[in-house]
Structure 1
Amino acid sequence: MKIVRRLGATPRERGSASGQTCPDIFELEDGDFAVIGTDVTEELDGKLPPDAGRAEYERIVVVTRETLLRAKRDIPDS
């Protein structure tokens, strides 16, 4: 598995003083995406809609609105 590119602005460009502790979105070589975010699995797991599910190896993470909006221009349409 290899990271091909970052989607959107770097953490530093989004205002992180250290540039190391912010959410991030990356495109992988197989076309999937990897997300760095705050783990909120414990808080939201029981609040998922009835038609949503999470495997034991999956986590629910939150990225800031700004992170996702700034990545939007880099997300392919297909």
Structure 2
Amino acid sequence: MKIVRRVGASPVERGSVGGQACPDIFELADGSFAVIGTDKTDLLDGSLPADASRGGHERIVVITRDILLRAKRDIPDA
């Protein structure tokens, strides 16, 4: 797996003073996306809708609305 680009604004562009340990979104070489966020699996796992599930190797990661909205411009429609 290889990260090919950041999707959206960098932590510094979003106002992070140090630009470290901040949520982020990256596009991978295979077209998938990697997300750095706060692990909220334990908090949200029981709240998943009935038609949603999480594999044992998967985590529920939370990012802010601002991060996703800033990334929207960089995510292709198809």
TM range (shorter): over 0.9
Aligned to 1:45: 45
1:3 aligns with 2:3: yes
1:60 aligns with 2:25: no
Count of aligned pairs between the two proteins: 78
Question: TM-score, normalized by length of structure 2?
Answer: 0.98
**Could you tell me how far 1:21 is from its partner in structure 2?**
1.7
What's the secondary structure of 1:74's corresponding residue?
Answer: coil
Q: Calculate percent identity across the aligned residue pairs.
A: 73
Structure 1 vs Structure 2 CA RMSD? 0.5
What's the secondary structure of 1:42's corresponding residue?
Answer: helix
| Aligned residue type for 2:42 | E
Runs of 4+ in 1 over 4 A off after TM superposition: none
